[in-house]
Amino acid sequence: MMKVLIIDDEPLALDLLEDSLKHVNTMQIMARCRNAGEAIIELQKQPIDLIFSDIYMPGINGLQLIKSLTQRPMVIFVTAYEKFAVDGFELDVVDYLVKPVPLDRFLRACHKALDLFELRKRHVPQPVVKNYFFLHADYNLVKISFDQIEYIEGLKDYIKVHFINQQQKPVLSRISLKAVELQLPADQFFRVHKSYLVNLQHVTQMRRGRIKLVNIEVPLSDSYRDVINRMIGTP
């Protein structure tokens, strides 16, 4: 079963994609996304085999999104504009569909992706361990290395990423602390308070109610006290 992500800023277009994919019982839609930021979060939360994406979208467009991915799933562009076809195929996409897409043309593209998927399964590459992730900030995708993060602060609907190098400007992104926690290595980043995630690499001291990092001291909530045992490797 192929895991599929569909991306379009128009709800009707997402509905049409979903309806068309009901005719392909070997593909499963894992998430619907309205923009590149939502797509990045989904791609970092779960493995995706194939992306159906529009090109014209607010902020980061479909071409920019696909170019930003180091671990790139197969891609089928579904757009109202023919003029980006060359750009699309330069990214080695599976197919380029121009709206409105007849069902038989859509199914041919799906079968092409399925054939390629089966071929790739016979030659499985060794997994690459990532030491970074991307955050959507100020209409850009910002690449952030895990090791450079000192702590992450939750601010209602936003987070602020603080770096060990204080000369590096913090990054503000519209995402919840819980959602970003899912994108980080669980053996390196620990939730110590409802508003703080800390990088164990930069923790220097721990005591009742406080966690000391290189540049700051943050609170340790009573409800997260068991995290100390996990940080020091005690069952």
User: Would you list the DSSP string of 11-24?
Assistant: HHHHHHHHHHHTT-
Q: Which residues pair with 33 in a beta bridge?
A: 7
| Residue ranges in 126-217 assigned as alpha helix (H) | 177-181
According to the model, what pLDDT value does residue 138 have? 86
CATH number at residue 76: 3.40.50.2300
Domain encompassing residue 145 = 132-232
Q: Give the pLDDT score at 81.
A: 87
Segment 76-103 mean pLDDT: 91
* Whether residue 164 is found in the same domain as residue 214: yes
**54, 65 Cβ separation under 8 angstroms:** no
**Distances in whole angstroms, Cα of residue 41 to Cα of each of 53, 136, 188:** 15, 9, 19
Q: Last residue of some domain: 72, 87, 121?
A: 121
Residue 126 lies in a domain: no
Give the number of C-alpha atoms closer than 13 A to the C-alpha of residue 185, restricted to the C-beta side: 14
Last residue of a domain, one of 98, 121, 144: 121
User: Which pTM was predicted?
Assistant: 0.64
Give Cα 52 to chain centroid, integer Å: 15
Residue 127 forms part of a structural domain: no
Residue 31 in any domain: the answer is yes
Domain contains 154: yes
Amino acid present at 172: L
Do both 41 and 107 map to the same domain? yes
pLDDT in tens, 156-179: 889 999 999 999 999 999 999 998
Altogether, the residues listed in the chain come to a count of 235
Confidence bin at 88 (pLDDT 50/70/90): confident
pLDDT in the model for residue 230: 79
170 and 93, same structural domain? no
